[in-house]
Amino acid sequence: MYMGAMCRIKPAEVEEEEEALGVVWHYREVGDHGEAGIRQTLSKGVSPEVFDRLQVKGYLRIEAGKVGFSDEGERLARDVTRRHRLAERLLVDMLDLGADSIDENACRWEHILSPEATTAICTLLGHPRHCPHGTAIPPGECCTKWTQQAESVITSLDKLAPGSSGKVAYLALAEKSVMQKLLSLGLTPGSTVSLQQKAPSIVVQAGETVIALEAELARHISVRKNPD
Amino acid sequence: MTSSGHCGHAEPESAEIAAGRIALVGHPNVGKSVVFNRLTGSYVTVSNYPGTTVDVTRGIGRLQGRSWQVIDTPGVRSLTPQSEDELASRDLLLRERPDVVIQVADAKNLKQTLMLTAALADLGLPMVLALNMSDEAESRGYHCDVRRLSGILGIPVVQTVATAGAGLEELKACLSHAARANRVEYCAEIESALRRLKPAPASGESDRFVGLALLSGDEGVCGCLPHADPEKTGGALVRAQELRRDFVRPPEFLVHAGREAWAMEVVGEVQTRSRAGRPGWLQTLDKWSMRGLPGYALAAGTLLVMYYFVGVLAAGHGVDFMENTLFGEYLNPTAVRWVRAAVPSPFLQDMLVGEYGIVTMALTYALAIVFPIVTAFFLFFGCLEDSGYLPRLSAMLDKAFRLVGLNGKAVIPMVLGLGCDTMATLSTRILDSRKERLLATMLLTLGIPCSAQLGVIMGILAKHGLREWAVWLAAVGGTTLAAGWAASKLLPGARSPFIMEIPPLRIPEPGNILLKIKIRLVWYLKEAVPLFMLGTLALFLFDRIGVLKRVEVLLAPVTTTLLGLPSETAWCFILGFLRRDYGAAGLFTLAEKGALDSRQIVVSLVAITLFMPCLAQFLVMVKERGARAACFISAFVFATAFAVGAALNQFLAFTNLL
């Protein structure tokens, strides 16, 4: 007997619409509002009639051959783009996946992340502003709040105040051997580190191990600040 | 635990005659070498910084009525090697499969200890765990339930304080109970990949370890399996690569996470912590020793102490007493009288007590000038090594070392070079990349005078003003920096990032310091004295057959014209080939005689400091970096030494600074 909760799945056409809104958002970012170009791109990925459906539903408006969003359309497009690019960051920064698996996963995740999960990921990553490809991640409410407080729960190790401590959230280092060395010294996700000093070298303590490291490395170690 | 089904190359059991082998394995700076010394009664260097042992050392110990070969290994953080010294340890374990592994551990870092235990368990070798430095752990308030830990791991666990000899008898008694440790169960992904990887290369009990290494992309393990079938190994490699692709998160992370979760659970079960602390002043010093201003002040203070202790006290007063009073007034005149009376041939008389006499020159140089200096230096240095200050200096100087393409880690071989460049060349193994090892070797040869040479140089300069000091320091330092900077740009490869474990500051143990000094002095006497005698004998013969004068004339364009030095200095440089300090000692006596003026002293000292590696260092360079690199570095250093000397001479003459 099945004991779990029933999972709700978005209908395929909703996913298609989200996908298409993402494409339009991208075109607007690069300053291209031409209907023909957008239609052509859409016909390669999703079914061509999606574009018309978006118009019927009132998400898109066309004025003098230029494609624009309605308020509702803009909100949906922004959200899907935000989810996609946050997913990319998560896959690159934390899971250290290669370029081919990033696209594949991010394209699926953009449709399934709930608003709560999106906010949690954004917070975990320290409210990043750009995706790994360098384009802007549309900010969410959590980002605005965060900027106002000017303080993030997650920060890089080198931004911790001397004498304070935090829990290692993740290490985002390109080189595997460096990563393994840090892990073997006890700088593992979840472990508590305290920052002893920042200059001339950064010195941290993890458990009973004291480690000196250069600032460049510390920038790639993200920690969740402990409340003082 | 798996049963011992298929041992491809197991040693014959219970070898009463050709003893079994015990390997000491563990994290860096946990005291493996102290345990080694205790078990074998021999001595290998022990210090308080990671990376003192860079090579495998073997000794014989009689334990439990049997004689064992005991093997000391360089420290490892994991069994996935990241540097040459770590590689040596992993290779040894796989290739030689010692009968017993003693994991020596830092008792206060139980979690990391257990993560290595888990890796050793996968290796499937009978083992014992020694929780060393348990006094330090206790003083920080850690208590470990050893019996419970032993039960969980399935191996004997002993608490030790090796420096004091505590727990060593218990450790010896445990050896016969050594067992294969219980293995950690990893997540389903890893376990199923391991099953699919089989049949793994014939590695017997280490199958699991080899499988994990292959899954983690560490293909180097295959080279360490002497009995593996190359075809099977190749097949396993290909399979491992395929399996790796199916993982969403890299297998090495899953393995690491599995070990970590397990270790944390075990720590929670066996360890309790109460509040305790170390002496307050040591903690304060610990805190300030690496910070900006106080840190630099401490470094400068350390240098100043060295200058007064080695330069003024030993090289000044000590040498003055030994050379002028002891040798000059008593020993040498007595020797001259005896030789004149006992030896009929004037030729032999001169050979023993003449201008280039074995007693009056070689022994006087070796014992009256250099010996007091190196004794003081070794004493100072031993304290520095054992205090744990060197890694702190690394943290202080990391940024400066980046200018020459290295990172702070290279401070250790460089400072060790001030003790002995030959040993320091060996210790460049702790550096992470080939480029850094090459750069460090070159800089050691060029700009770092060894203790004996530095002491003699200090002795000469201490008799002169601050200005001579400053010019010497600026010329040697500037050349070293410039050469390092240029070489770091020319050599391909990148600097590796700076990560350094900082051991706690400790008060050096007088026993260990004295033992260290004794070992080093005996080594000095054995190596240096015969070389000094040989060199002097050659010099004497050259003088007799008139070659010396001709060489002086031949070299005059370099010494006299380029460097502006008296032609006698030629033989100092020739002796410099044999030993760095020998050449400097020659300059010392010339300076004492008043044969050199201020400018000549500084120019000759700069040239001899930058000059060639000594014979022993050259041989180590060939061994470590290859003949081509060694010859290239030597040729470069040779040319640079004279070029800089000549330029300095011109500069000083032109500016009238000296």
DSSP B291: S
B82 and A180 within 8 Å at the Cβ level: the answer is: yes
- Pick the closest to residue B149 from B176, B117, B190, B173 (CA basis): B117
Q: How far apart are CA B627 and CA B646, in angstroms?
A: 29
Residue B435 domain-assigned (yes or no): yes
Torsion of CA B482, B484, B486, B490, to 10 degrees: 170
* Percent of chain A scoring above 70 in pLDDT: 90
**Count of C-beta atoms within a 10 Å radius of residue B469:** 17
Torsion of CA A191, A197, A200, A201, to 10 degrees: -10
Instruction: Name the residue among B77, B248, B500 with its Cβ closest to that of A184.
Output: B77
B291 and A197 within 8 Å at the Cβ level: the answer is: yes
Report chain B residues whose CB lies below 8 A from the CB of A183: 256
Residue B285 domain-assigned (yes or no): no
**Partners of B103 in the beta sheet?**
B25, B129
Three-state DSSP class for residue B513:
helix
Instruction: Name the residue among B82, B108, B395 with its Cβ closest to that of A201.
Output: B395
Q: Which domain holds residue B626?
A: 292-655
Query: Distance from CA of residue A60 to its chain's centroid?
Result: 26
Number of CB pairs < 8 Å for A and B?
103
Within chain B, which residues score under 50 in pLDDT?
1-18
Residue B477 domain-assigned (yes or no): yes
Same domain, B263 and B366: no
Q: Percentages helix, strand, coil for chain B, rounded to the nearest 5?
A: 65, 10, 25
With a CB cutoff of 8 Å and minimum separation 6, the contacts of A3 are none
Same domain, B272 and B338: no
Same domain, B431 and B541: yes
**Which of B219, B251, B277 is a domain's end point?**
B277
Taking only the tens place, the pLDDT of each residue in B294-328 is 999 999 999 889 888 888 888 888 988 998 899 99
A197 and B504 within 8 Å at the Cβ level: the answer is: no
Residue the block writes with tokens 């054992």: B386
Number of domains composing chain B: 2
Report chain A residues whose CB lies below 8 A from the CB of B50: none
Minimal Cα distance from A211: which residue of B? B501
Amino acid at B655: T
Three-state DSSP class for residue B583:
helix
- B332 to chain A, closest Cα gap in Å: 53
Peptide bond into A200 cis (omega under 30): yes
Taking only the tens place, the pLDDT of each residue in A30-88 is 777 788 878 877 777 777 788 888 888 888 888 887 888 999 999 999 999 999 989 88
CB B586 within 8 A of CB B572: yes
Q: Please give, one letter per residue, the 3-state secondary structure of B131-164.
A: EECHHHHHHCCEEECHHHHHHHHCCCEEECEHHH
pLDDT classification of A228: cutoffs 50, 70, 90: low
Report chain B residues whose CB lies below 8 A from the CB of A95: 248-249
| Cα dist from B619 to B416, B525, B584, whole Å | 18, 19, 21
**Which of B277, B311, B333 is a domain's end point?**
B277
Residue B2 domain-assigned (yes or no): no
DSSP A92: I
- A184 to chain B, closest Cα gap in Å: 6
Taking only the tens place, the pLDDT of each residue in A129-178 is 877 777 788 888 888 777 655 455 778 899 889 989 998 887 877 777 88
Which ipTM did the prediction report? 0.78
Report chain B residues whose CB lies below 8 A from the CB of A197: 290-291
- A198 to chain B, closest Cα gap in Å: 8
All domains of chain A, ordered by start, with CATH? 1-151 (1.10.10.10), 154-225 (2.30.30.90)
- Report the phi/psi class of residue B388: left, alpha or beta, with left for phi > 0 and alpha for psi in -120 to 50: left
Same domain, B146 and B224: yes
DSSP B363: I
Minimal Cα distance from B81: which residue of A? A177
Residue B287 domain-assigned (yes or no): no
A217 and B395 within 8 Å at the Cβ level: the answer is: no
Q: How far apart are CA B310 and CA B319, in angstroms?
A: 11
Torsion of CA B211, B212, B215, B219, to 10 degrees: -70
Q: Is B117's Cβ below 8 Å from some Cβ in A? A: no
| Cα dist from B471 to B259, B330, B356, B464, whole Å | 56, 37, 32, 12
Minimal Cα distance from A178: which residue of B? B497
Same domain, B273 and B301: no
Q: Where are the beta strands (DSSP E) in B258-298?
A: 271-273
Query: Looking at residue B16, what is its pLDDT?
Result: 41
Same domain, B155 and B199: yes
Query: Distance from CA of residue B477 to its chain's centroid?
Result: 23
**Count of C-beta atoms within a 10 Å radius of residue A66:** 11
Instruction: Name the residue among A176, A184, A217 with its Cβ closest to that of B497.
Output: A217
**Count of C-beta atoms within a 10 Å radius of residue B422:** 21
**Partners of A130 in the beta sheet?**
A136
- A131 to chain B, closest Cα gap in Å: 21
Query: Looking at residue A149, what is its pLDDT?
Result: 59
Same domain, B247 and B317: no
Per the prediction, chain A carries an average pLDDT of 82
Query: Looking at residue B5, what is its pLDDT?
Result: 31
Same domain, B209 and B323: no
Minimal Cα distance from B398: which residue of A? A201
- H or E element at residue B230: helix B230-245
Same domain, B215 and B315: no
Amino acid at B21: R
Report chain B residues whose CB lies below 8 A from the CB of A176: 217, 250, 252
Instruction: Name the residue among A176, A177, A200 with its Cβ closest to that of B396.
Output: A200
Q: Is A104's Cβ below 8 Å from some Cβ in B? A: no
Query: Distance from CA of residue B491 to its chain's centroid?
Result: 24
What token pair was written down for A190? 């979840």
Same domain, B73 and B191: yes
Amino acid at B595: A
- B213 to chain A, closest Cα gap in Å: 13
Query: Looking at residue A1, what is its pLDDT?
Result: 45
| Cα dist from B230 to B36, B198, B224, B236, whole Å | 36, 15, 12, 10
Query: Looking at residue A97, what is its pLDDT?
Result: 73
Instruction: Name the residue among A97, A180, A200 with its Cβ closest to that of B395.
Output: A200
Residues 131-190 of A with CB under 8 A from B: 175-178, 180-186, 188
Three-state DSSP class for residue B107:
coil
**Which of B277, B308, B337 is a domain's end point?**
B277
pTM as predicted: 0.73
Query: Looking at residue A9, what is its pLDDT?
Result: 66
**Partners of B68 in the beta sheet?**
B61
Q: Determine which of B500, B505, B506 to mutate to test the interface with A (most A C-beta atoms within 10 Å).
A: B500
Same domain, B41 and B181: yes
Q: How far apart are CA B530 and CA B379, in angstroms?
A: 23
Residue B284 domain-assigned (yes or no): no
| Beta-strand relationship, A154-156 and A165-171 | unpaired
- H or E element at residue B427: helix B421-427
Q: How far apart are CA B256 and CA A155, in angstroms?
A: 24
- Report the phi/psi class of residue B22: left, alpha or beta, with left for phi > 0 and alpha for psi in -120 to 50: beta
Query: Looking at residue B25, what is its pLDDT?
Result: 96
Q: How far apart are CA B624 and CA B614, in angstroms?
A: 15
Peptide bond into A227 cis (omega under 30): no
What token pair was written down for B20? 């079994």
Q: How far apart are CA B151 and CA B156, in angstroms?
A: 8
CATH number of the domain that residue B79 is part of: 3.40.50.300
Residue B1 domain-assigned (yes or no): no
| Cα dist from A87 to A26, A76, A110, B372, whole Å | 16, 17, 7, 68
Minimal Cα distance from B249: which residue of A? A95
Angle of CA points B230, A175, B188, to nearest 5°: 60
Taking only the tens place, the pLDDT of each residue in B99-150 is 999 999 999 999 999 999 999 999 999 999 999 999 888 888 889 999 999 9
Q: Determine which of A176, A182, A184 to mutate to test the interface with B (most B C-beta atoms within 10 Å).
A: A184
Residue B4 domain-assigned (yes or no): no
Same domain, B468 and B577: yes
A184 and B395 within 8 Å at the Cβ level: the answer is: no
Q: Determine which of B253, B396, B403, B411 to mutate to test the interface with A (most A C-beta atoms within 10 Å).
A: B253
Report chain A residues whose CB lies below 8 A from the CB of B394: 212
Q: How far apart are CA B315 and CA B313, in angstroms?
A: 6
| Cα dist from B143 to A208, B113, B118, B169, B268, whole Å | 14, 15, 21, 21, 11
- Pick the closest to residue B263 from B388, B357, B152 (CA basis): B152
Q: How far apart are CA B411 and CA B408, in angstroms?
A: 5
